[in-house]
Amino acid sequence: MLIARLIADPVALETRLDAALAALDEAGLPVAGAALLPDLREVLELTLPEGEPERLLALLDEHLSPSDALVARDEIRCPRLFVSDMDSTMIGQECIDELAGFAGLKPQIAAITERAMQGELDFVAALRERVGLLGGLGEQAIDQCLAQRIRPMEGARTLVATLRARGCRTVLVTGGFHHFADPVAEQLGFERVVGNRLEVAGGKLTGGLVGAIADSGTKLAVLREEAAKLGENAATLATGDGANDIPMIEAATYGVAYHAKPMARQAANGRIDRGDLTSVLRLLGIPQRDWVLG
Q: Give me the active site residues, please.
A: 85, 87
Distance CA 130, CA 97 (A): 9
Work out whether strand 204-210 and strand 67-72 pair parallel, antiparallel, or are unpaired: unpaired
Element (H, E) at 204: strand 204-210
Tell me which residue of 199, 202, 227, 228 sits closest to 213, measured CA to CA.
199
Is residue 255 a contact partner of residue 84, using CB atoms and an 8 Å limit? no
Is residue 78 a contact partner of residue 166, using CB atoms and an 8 Å limit? yes
Distance CA 246, CA 256 (A): 10
CA distances from residue 16 to 3, 10, 63, 64, 286 in whole angstroms, order as listed: 20, 10, 7, 7, 26
CA end-to-end span of the chain? 35
- The per-residue DSSP string of 166-178 comes to TT-EEEEEEEEEH
Tell me which residue of 39, 7, 54, 1 sits closest to 275, measured CA to CA.
7
Cis peptide before 66 (omega within 30 of 0): yes
